[in-house]
Amino acid sequence: MNTVTLTPKKQSDLYLEVNNITPDMFAGKSTEQIAALPVYVGNTEHPLGEFFTVTGAAGASAAETRIVIKGDSSRLKYIGMKMTAGEIEVEGSADQYVGGWMAGGKIHVQGNVQAFAGVGMRGGELLVDGNAGDYLGAAYRGDWRGMQGGKIYIKGNAGSDLGYFMNGGTIVVDGDVDVFVGTHAEGGTIIIKGNAKSKVGGQMVQGEIYVFGTIDVMLPGYIYRQELEKEVEGMKGKFALFEGDTAERHPKRKGQLQYAKLYLKQ
């Protein structure tokens, strides 16, 4: 695997939109060609090389290309958008939409990520050492197609509206989450190792949520079913199973209504 390193040389006045920083776009290109790729400041186009020094070499394909972004990326939006393979290492923190609509490959952010990380994600892996903002693995504004596949791992805490309209894949948060978890979800797995506040699984149709800590306020649309033994993310324990959200429609399979499952660790 070849590595391309981007070292910032100038900060943009406005946030910089860098949806072209992906292994797919870099693959097979020279450093000069990479430096000529457009990035966006508002509605104006600039060459990537205006803001970054590009060193190293890209691989022949996305899968053979690794990108390292040095320094502070906290004003960069859309890192790794729609990437299908390869790797991105962000040494600092990143702004919104990291890994948005990504279909494969791996992104590692050593700092924090802002809202809409992994939005509409279809595959691959997004690992964040710090905290995540709101709408992690959610759907884009207005859309009903949230995270469809892949895995998101947050070592810190996550904001509100996590897994909004999620349909597949897995989100793991080591820390705590803010309000609204898995709203409108129709599939996928959400694992919260810390605490949740409220509106967990609201209008959720199908899918699974595990909460290892506490939920401040349970939604009234969830019904307690039973206690059971489960192994989740390498941890064994007793969970109380709730099904819901009974305020929402649910599909039938073999004459049985299929609910979303909320497991609360005992």
Stretch that binds another protein, among 42-50, 128-136, 231-239, 257-265 (CB under 8 A): 42-50
Helix (H, G, I), strand (E, B) or coil at 162: strand
Of 13, 32, 43, 256, the one binding another protein (CB under 8 A) is: 43
Closest listed residue to residue 116, CA positions, set 176, 159, 167, 150 = 159
Of 30, 60, 144, 238, the one binding another protein (CB under 8 A) is: 144
Size of the site for another protein (CB under 8 A): 10
Q: Measured from the CB atom, is 128 or 166 closer to another protein?
A: 166
Q: Measured from the CB atom, is 19 or 157 closer to another protein?
A: 19
Q: Which residues pair with 106 in a beta bridge?
A: 87, 125
User: Does position 44 bind another protein by CB under 8 A?
Assistant: yes
Would you give the DSSP letter of residue 130? Answer: S
Is the peptide bond preceding residue 95 cis, with omega within 30 degrees of 0? no
Q: Measured from the CB atom, is 142 or 255 closer to another protein?
A: 142
Would you give the DSSP letter of residue 24? Answer: H
- What character string, x for contact with another protein (CB under 8 A) and - otherwise, covers 192-231? ----------------------------------------
User: 72: Cβ–Cβ under 8 A, 6 or more apart, which residues?
Assistant: 8, 92, 93
Of 2, 140, 194, 246, the one binding another protein (CB under 8 A) is: 140
Least gap, CB of 145 to another protein (angstroms)? 8
Stretch that binds another protein, among 107-115, 137-145, 174-182, 226-234 (CB under 8 A): 137-145
Q: Which residues pair with 227 in a beta bridge?
A: 240
Least gap, CB of 89 to another protein (angstroms)? 26
Least gap, CB of 17 to another protein (angstroms)? 12
Pairing of strands 235-244, 223-232: antiparallel
Stretch that binds another protein, among 3-11, 142-150, 155-163, 226-234 (CB under 8 A): 142-150
Q: Measured from the CB atom, is 17 or 243 closer to another protein?
A: 17
Task: Identify the helix (H) or strand (E) that includes residue 35.
Answer: helix 31-36
Burial of 249 (0-12, 13-18, 19+ CB in 10 A): exposed
Contacts to another protein from residues 235-264, by CB under 8 A:
249
Sole residue written with tokens 């690992």:
127
As a whole number of angstroms, the distance between CA 228 and CA 98 comes to 36
Of 9, 10, 45, 228, the one binding another protein (CB under 8 A) is: 45
Least gap, CB of 43 to another protein (angstroms)? 4
Other Cβ atoms closer than 10 A to 1 = 10
Closest listed residue to residue 8, CA positions, set 85, 75, 105 = 75
- Contact set with another protein (CB under 8 A): 43-45, 139-144, 249
